[in-house]
Amino acid sequence: MPRNPANTLRETTLPALLLVGDTVVSFGALLLAYWLRYRSSIGALGIDVPDATLSLYLPLLVVGLILLIAAFTQLGLYDGRTLLRKQHNLNQLARGTFFWVIIYLTFSLVIKFDPPISRLFVVLAGIVTLVTLWLWREMFYFFITRPTRLPKLQRRVALLGWHAEAAGLVHEVQKSAAHPYRIAGVIDDGLSATHAPLASLGNVRDLSMVLEHERIDVLIATHLDIPAEQLREITRTCERSYVEWKIAPLAFPIFLTGLRLQTVGSTPVIGVEDLPISRLLNRAAKRSLDLLGAILGLALSAPVIAVLALLIKRESPRGPVFFRQTRIGAGHQPFTLYKLRSMLPDAATRDHAHHSTRTGDTRLLKIGAFLRRWNLDELPQYWNVLRGDMSLVGPRPERPHHVDQLSAVIPHYLPRHLVKPGMTGWAQVNGLRGDTDLSARIRYDIFYIENWSLWLDLQITLLTLLRWRSPA
């Protein structure tokens, strides 16, 4: 049986409560959507559905409810290990609801129900369900993250040995008070030369006693230099103590989600396999979304670009409206990036040091400052997306000089060129634009590459629209 009594609360009771709560709230949301569709003035927007009484519609609501809860279950929303990952679960909630709307609409087209499923009802149900579930989940998280309850739900973690790079793991855990993990301290493995800035829990020779006394749920080795026999004994001790045994793979500093265990003959081998964003069907889906977005973007932005072009010419008659610059794209291939000109025509010839534009730069036009403030100078990049040089979402492209310079001093800089650069990206919507920490920006770019999905692209696009204005 599990060692920690809190496991039952964390892994069974609260996930079951979430499941029941989601079911009740979702059914209430479907009933509200039915009322909006058939009993309120909103219903006039849809096609008339005869005999859509609640008694006849009830089986359709039950089918929708089963599909919705099944989608949430498939996405792991009732896994006790992710109970405290609030933002992750809310994202999965939105993702599950979005795909549920698509599936439910497909059902309405493929299967002939009597009465038929109203498409307006499905759309309303998606919106109402997402809003009500979000409110319910917010209340749930508020309840379980109270100081008196939170420690009972967090998993106590001990680090085996210490490595300087393990500080990043500790920082990630400690920066959120409601993180699923709570670092208890370090167990001395007799191999670490650096003293850990954490509480000492004891020695690896007394591992079984330390795990029991400290009520450890997870043991994480911070390096791979453990002798084979000692490693086997540690594994056996963790098994006997019902403690999860993990190794921080510092030998694989990038693309950690791409790690896969394979066997060569009878020998296990771990390594990086293909990433989701590199698979053929995923590339095709992403390119299709790019083409759709580029065509729509060019159509909507053309009048805006025309007006801005006149304003640029009025302030700076000499020089072109569009600014062209060589950037590095996917596969380290150069391409020509297009922008609306925001500086004096000879600005590039006065930039011998290849500096980025700084606040108060005398080369910047008055209209140029406005363009950059609202990122309007980047509207012509829809043309780059249409041509295939760029994507709507991806790491921002840099000049060749900056790529050579940054790749020499920032670890793991070049893998960002495995994908097409984007008009916007995960780093940008998280505030890392302009004069910000380049190392942090690269970490966000790598996270995007290894965790790519169409849903992540849609999420970044939505956040870009909400945060379109650049910081002052």
Same domain, 342 and 412: yes
In the predicted model, what is the mean pLDDT of residues 377-383?
A: 94
Calpha distance 89→78 (Å, rounded): 9
Distances, alpha carbon 422 to alpha carbons 327, 371, 448, 457, in Å = 12, 19, 11, 10
In a domain, 435, yes or no: yes
pLDDT attached to residue 255? 61
Same domain, 134 and 190: no
Q: How many residues does the chain have?
A: 472
Same domain, 336 and 461: yes
> pLDDT tens across 140-191, in order?
999 999 988 888 888 899 998 887 777 878 888 888 888 888 999 999 887 7
Question: In the numeric block, which tokens belong to residue 339?
Answer: 């922008």
In a domain, 381, yes or no: yes
Host domain of residue 174: 154-251
pLDDT attached to residue 109? 73
In the predicted model, what is the mean pLDDT of residues 240-257?
A: 72
> pLDDT tens across 220-244, in order?
888 777 888 888 898 889 888 888 8
Calpha distance 13→6 (Å, rounded): 10
**Count of structural domains within the chain:** 3
Same domain, 26 and 129: yes
Same domain, 176 and 137: no
In a domain, 176, yes or no: yes
Same domain, 169 and 290: no
Same domain, 169 and 124: no
CB of 39 closer than 8 Å to CB of 121 = no
- Residue 1, pLDDT > 60, answer no
Confidence bin at 134 (pLDDT 50/70/90): very high
Q: Which residues pair with 118 in a beta bridge?
A: none
Residue 419 corresponds to which amino acid?
Answer: V
Same domain, 299 and 441: yes
pLDDT attached to residue 5? 47
Same domain, 40 and 128: yes
